[in-house]
Amino acid sequence: MLYHAYELTHAAISPMRTYARMGQQALNSPFNPFAESYPAKASSAAFEMFINATRRYGKPEFGLDSTTVDGVETPILEEVTHALPFCNLLHFKRDSGAAEARNDPKVLIIAPMSGHYATLLRGTVKQMLPDHDVYITDWIDAREVPLAEGVFDLDDYTDYLIEFCRILGEDGERPAVMAVCQPGVPMMVAASLMAMNKDPFRPSSITLMGSPIDTAKNPKQPNELATTRPLSWFENNVIVTVPWPNPGFMRRVYPGFLQLSGFLAMNIDKHVDAHKNQFNHLIRGDGDSTAAHRKFYDEYMAVMDLTSEFYLQTIERVFQKRLLAIGAYYHRNTLVDPAAIRDIAILTIEGEKDDITGIGQTEAAHTLTPKLPAKKHAHYVQEGVGHYGIFNGSRWREIIQPKVADFIETNRSKVKA
């Protein structure tokens, strides 16, 4: 009923949004003699705030049309190289002779499946493109996947990552992998399984960024929320059924709008201040500031549903029982042994002010891999940044990304049968 109530409320407000748009157009019309007056500007700003607060935000575009390779402006072609029911392997193909002449490493960026779309990592991808052949996991909104496609749980997620690594390794070089936030655990599981099986396409290196490998270390608000309630509470209170006429009709999901509510609640004062400032910017006609606000919230407000199986298993395995951290994680019927990792270099990156994944949670990956040579372990804490600053923003571009690029290059390795 919760999902149905959400959809009905959205539909009920739709006429109000239409009236608000009509009112805004009338107030801003060049034929309105009072358009430049304060009351008109304030009313127009209020209409826009209402429209943006109540509209549905669709999946954003990456919008990465070009990059520079060795000084050459290079077009970027987005192509789906492998399609699975719940994820597309998206390739940012650099279409120029300068790019083709280089021997750049293939990099698989694993976007988090935690409510937002993979486009949240637009800045991450953009900075990697000049010197890397970049692929990303473009997860599909669960409400868009028909029930006939079956379930999708944490084990399926891990299987997808293994499959993608094998695809990228087909050209003879083991891929480099970057896992941002939530996928750190399934990527460690995938790497461990591939090492246990001596899979020739196992990654050459893994970069874990703000990942909850051991949530007992310096727990933050998301950790506490997940551990202060039994799993049954989550199943009974936040899992709902996708309503008709969505393609995923009858699929049980953790809806994106609930996850968004959680995101907003964590920093509610910050978001309230941002919207107050936006209202004032609209009145003053500060185009740059209003455009920056719209760009951020167009991305932030766009959310996707997660399958109930994946969500509940993540709560239980990662946050409540910490199975990987204590050596009790099973992938289907196989006990996962991270100690089997002997030649997959691991770089862990944390943010000093991260309020989602506390300091030490990602670094814990190193203690799980005691047989990995010391030269293949690396850890870095970036001062002055929170969770998103690890993979976006000026410090990502100027400090963190060069370290990641050096780590990937240093640990490149050919596929050996």
Taking only the tens place, the pLDDT of each residue in 197-223 is 999 999 999 999 999 999 999 888 878
**CATH class label, 66-226+306-410:** alpha beta
The amino acid that residue 33 corresponds to is P
Between 17-31, 65-79, 202-216, 317-331, the lowest mean confidence (pLDDT) is in: 17-31
Burial 184-202 (b: 16+ CB within 10 A, else e): bbbbbbbbbbbbbeebebb
Q: What is the pLDDT of residue 402?
A: 97
**Average pLDDT, integer, range 354-373:** 95
Output phi, psi for 344, to 5 deg: -105, 105
Cα distance between residue 92 and residue 106, in whole Å: 11
Percent of the chain topping pLDDT 90: 65
CA distance 319 to 328: 13
First to last CA, the chain: 54
Q: Up-side HSE of residue 269: CA atoms within 13 Å toward CB?
A: 0
Q: Are strands 334-335 and 330-331 parallel, antiparallel or unpaired?
A: antiparallel
pLDDT at position 53 over 70: no
Q: Using pLDDT thresholds of 50, 70 and 90, give the confidence band for residue 300.
A: low
Q: What is the pLDDT of residue 31?
A: 80
pLDDT, residue 285, reads 77
pLDDT digits (tens, 9 = 90+) for 150-183: 999 999 999 999 999 999 999 999 999 999 999 9
* Mean pLDDT for the stretch of residues 340-366: 95
Contact 155, 186 (CB under 8 A): no
pTM of the model: 0.89
Give the per-residue pLDDT at 291. 76
Task: Provide the pLDDT for residue 125.
Answer: 97
**How high is the pLDDT of residue 57?**
64
pLDDT(137) > 80: yes
**Lowest-confidence segment of 102-111, 112-121, 331-340 by average pLDDT:** 112-121
Give the separation between CA 157 and CA 162, rounded to whole angstroms. 9
* Environment class of 265 (CB within 10 Å of its CB; exposed 0-12, middle 13-18, buried 19+): exposed
pLDDT at 15 over 80: no
Out of 50-64, 158-172, 284-298, 381-395, least confident range: 284-298
- Per-residue pLDDT, 265: 64
- At 416, the pLDDT band (50, 70, 90 cuts) reads confident
Average pLDDT of span 58-63: 86
Of 137-141, 198-202, 239-243, which range is least confident? Answer: 239-243
* Residue boundaries of the structural domains of the chain: 1-56, 66-226+306-410
pLDDT category at 292 given cuts 50, 70, 90 is: confident
pLDDT computed for residue 290 by the predictor:
77
| Span 256-280, pLDDT tens digits | 777 766 666 666 777 677 677 776 7
Phi, psi dihedral angles at 133 (to 5 degrees): -95, 105
AA letter at 171: D
Inform me whether the pLDDT recorded for 48 exceeds 80: no
**Rounded distance, CA 389 to CA 140, Å?**
25
pLDDT at 52: 66
